[in-house]
């Protein structure tokens, strides 16, 4: 699903957290290395392995992305 030009949105689950990098698994076999968006950092929302998240991925480099929402 594409909201903006050049950005794809996916839903996945957090596999691992290393410092400020989040490893998110999408489609059972594809892993994206993500950062956490500023709004999530400002709100103090913590991510743990197993959380369902929404990820924005650029169409130019699909191996990196940004976590924009944590599902409830």
Report CA torsion sign: 31, 37, 39, 40: positive
Would you state the pLDDT for residue 3?
57
What is the average pLDDT across 2-28?
90
Asked if 8 and 57 count as a contact pair (C-beta separation under 8 A), the reply is yes
Query: What's the CATH code, domain 7-70?
Result: 2.40.50.140
Would you state the pLDDT for residue 45?
95
pLDDT at 36 over 80: yes
**Mind listing the pLDDT tens digit for each residue in 52-64?**
999 999 999 999 9
Strands 30-36 and 52-58: unpaired
Residue 22's nearest CA partner among 12, 36, 10, 39 is 36
Instruction: Spell out the domain ranges in the chain.
Output: 7-70
pLDDT at 2 over 80: no
Query: What global pTM score does this model have?
Result: 0.87
């Amino acid at each position: 699903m594409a909201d903006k030009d050049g950005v794809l949105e996916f839903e996945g689950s957090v596999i691992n957290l290393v410092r400020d990098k989040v490893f998110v698994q999408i489609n059972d076999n594809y892993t994206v290395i993500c950062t956490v968006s500023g709004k999530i950092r400002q709100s103090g929302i913590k991510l743990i392995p197993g959380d369902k998240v929404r990820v924005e991925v650029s169409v130019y480099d699909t191996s990196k992305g940004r976590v924009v929402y944590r599902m409830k």
